[in-house]
Structure 1
Amino acid sequence: MQAFFLEAEGQGGQRLCIHHDAQGPEKRGQILYLHPFAEEMNKSRRMAALQARAMAAAGYEVLQIDLLGCGDSSGDFGDASWEAWVADAVQACRWLKAQPQPAPLWIWGLRAGCLLAVDVAKRLPSAPNLLLVQPPASGKTVLQQFLRLKVAGGMLDGSGKGLMAQLRQALSQGQSVEIAGYRLSAPLSTGLEAANLNPIPTPTDQQARLVWLELASQQPSEWSPVAAQTQERWREAGWQLHAEQLAGPAFWQTTEIEEAPALIDGAVRGLLQQASGADQRAYRPLEHCA
């Protein structure tokens, strides 16, 4: 594992990256990780690190990047825009493909990172493979949930009445708003709200792969109607889909830092199954927490 700063093209500043070399005699693929939105990113750091190590141990080269204004990268959160984040991710994909022994490219998104992964995939010369973990229904849903944090706080001190409308109006006028310690800019909110999981058509001679994973606190159940319909649209667009529900906590929003071992193993198993076309249920879980 190696940490370094990537000089951002066009936007200036640096982006913190963590690079995991693929282990073993064969590099199976290259993976770019796109983190969740705002505080969910911090809650997910441990799981992202454990997942990246497991992927590297299975033969995948992994690059984690802190986007503009996030983590230890340049800028403040309020400086970020959706387009700037897309540009950061596209540059990170180019960096990966410039490494020795390039291999099939995967973009791994977690929560809002799934929406970003789809937008990034549209900007690349050829569609990458996608690993989407707990993808939200839409960017509009993510934004609404984030704005509700401010409204919930306002309810406690009596200032919540009409607050949602005020936030919406401020953003529509190009102003930034403060929510839960984050300054949300109008360009970021606009881009996030417009993001969606609409499938990307693939050329007839290209077999693009999609792994879709979700966590459930209890036994896996039927997919939600939105998830089932979205998955079917991706299949119809020519994507080879592996979808699985796994047991585990919603670690991106829990009070304490949580782990979901079943997700770590399920993600690696899904990648291997898509690479070989074989059933990887016999995949031996790695020792993640050593």
Structure 2
Amino acid sequence: MSASAPSFDFRLIDTPAGSLPCIIRGSPADTPLLIIPPLFEEMNRTRALLAGVGRRLAERGIASWLPDLPGTGDSELPFAEASWDAWQQSLELLAQKISATHGKEVHIFTIRGGALLGESIPARSRYWLSPVAGERLLRELLRARMAADQERGTPTSTAALEAQLATQPVELAGYPVSLALAAALRAAALPEVAPVRRAVVGSGDGDISLDGPPLWRHAEPAAAPALAEALADDIAAWIARCAGR
């Protein structure tokens, strides 16, 4: 990493969906990596992990760009106005900005539902941590809502939530999810792209299994330094391997 460049920066990237807040770690001389965060509340639960991975990658000569998707985090767009297309288009514009800044094609790192976005982005490589199809993610969101309703003493059902979605947004994991967004999520499959490396935490189908907590399932955000270190090592090795192709 260049000693003359800041190791941390915050920028607002102009997009049709408003300014896209983006945290950048590394220098323009480094290899660029676009981090697509997981969706909904999983983004907040993994923020400390992504920060730890970004810091460690900067030490390895890889500059990471971590955005808040439109309608989430520090985005100026209300979540109710966010859409699947807005997420896709904003990421495409950000990837173009990253490539122009570094003069190189981007690599992409995603967690969980983040792998469903960015299929149309030209990327040197992709690294997926515990990727999940949209239909499964939506089912998990609905089950979490039903469990919360049960605990509050107001039990509901999948059918009731689906019926509500047809007329108004339904709060899932703290976000008002519209019928259009739910439909887009349900239809979203993991893209057929290459080269891609799949990593999993614990057991599962992947190219590598990493030890560590599945932070996206934790009730509160937490850091996992050992997992961040292992991820940074494996991502850096994967990027180096793909750079020679």
Q: Same fold (TM over 0.5)?
A: yes
Alignment pair present for 1:168 and 2:143? no
Root-mean-square deviation (CA), in Å? Answer: 2.2
Asked if structure 2 preserves the Cα contact closer than 8 Å seen for 1:249 and 1:259, the reply is no
Determine the C-alpha separation between the residues in 2 that align with 1:153 and 1:103: 46
Counterpart selection for 2:145 from 127, 142, 150: 150
Where in structure 2 are the equivalents of 1:20-35 lying within 5 Å?
A: 20-22=25-27, 27=30, 29-35=31-37
Q: 1:197 to 1:179 in 2, by over 3 A?
A: closer
TM-score, scaled relative to structure 2: 0.86
Q: In 1, distance between residues paired with 2:230 and 2:104?
A: 21
2:103 alignment partner, SS class: coil
Distance 1:88 1:103 in 2: 19
Q: Supply the distance in 1 between the matched residues of 2:191 and 2:10 (Cα, whole angstroms).
A: 34
Residues 197/257 of structure 1: CA separation in 2 closer, same or farther (3 Å cut): same
Q: Secondary structure at the match of 1:149?
A: helix
Q: What does residue 67 of structure 2 align with?
A: 65
Q: Which residue is 1:115 aligned to?
A: 116
- Measure the CA separation in 2 of the matches of 1:276 and 1:263: 20
Deviation at 1:174, TM superposition (A): 5.5
Q: How does 1:155-234 map to 2 (within 5 A)?
A: 155-161=150-156, 163-171=157-165, 173=166, 175-200=168-193, 208-216=194-202, 221=203, 223=204, 227=205
The DSSP-based 3-state class of the residue aligned with 1:62 is strand
Q: Deviations over 1:123-174 (max 9, x none)?
A: 23x44411111212x111111111122211222345324x311221233x35
**CA–CA separation in structure 1 for the residues paired with 2:66 and 2:103:** 17
- Mapped partners of 1:39, 1:275: distance in 2: 28
Q: In the TM superposition, what is the alpha-carbon distance from 1:256 to its structure 2 partner?
A: 4.1
| TM-superposed deviation, 1:112 | 1.0
- Following TM superposition, by how much is the alpha carbon of 1:245 offset from its aligned partner in structure 2, in angstroms? 0.5
The one of 123, 130, 133 equivalent to 1:134 is 130
Q: Contact between 2:62 and 2:236, CA under 8 Å: does it hold in 1?
A: no
Identify the range of structure 1 (43-52 vs 191-200) with the bigger mean alpha-carbon deviation. 191-200
| Distance in 1 between residues matched to 2:10 and 2:96, nearest whole Å | 17
Say whether the 8 Å CA contact 1:47–1:259 is kept in structure 2.
Answer: yes
Counterpart-to-counterpart distance in 2, 1:272 and 1:181: 34
Q: 1:261 to 1:77 in 2, by over 3 A?
A: same
Give the structure, 1 or 2, with the largest relative contact order (CA under 8 Å, sep 6 or more). 2
Aligned counterpart in structure 2 of residue 260 of structure 1, from 220, 224, 230? 224
CA pair 68-253 structure 1, distance change in 2 beyond 3 A: same
Paired position in structure 2 for 1:81? 83
Paired residues, what number? 235
Could you tell me whether the CA contact under 8 Å between 1:6 and 1:14 is conserved in 2?
Answer: yes
Looking at structure 2, the residues matched to 214 and 129 of structure 1 have their Cα atoms a distance apart, in angstroms, of 17
Distance (whole Å) between structure 1 residues aligned to residue 47 and residue 179 of structure 2: 26
What is the distance in 1 between the residues matched to 2:12 and 2:240?
34
Counterpart position of 2:214:
250
Contact 1:15 1:67 in 2 (8 A): yes
* AA aligned opposite 1:66: D
Give 3-state SS (helix, strand or coil) of 2:217's partner: coil
User: 2:149 and 2:138 mapped to 1: Cα distance?
Assistant: 17
TM-score, normalized by length of structure 1?
0.74
Identical positions, percent: 28
State the match for 2:3 in structure 1.
none
- After superposition, what is the alpha-carbon deviation per residue over 1:252-273, rounded to whole angstroms, capped at 9, x for unaligned? 2223433333432333332333
Which ranges of structure 2 fall in alignment gaps of 5 or more residues? 1-7
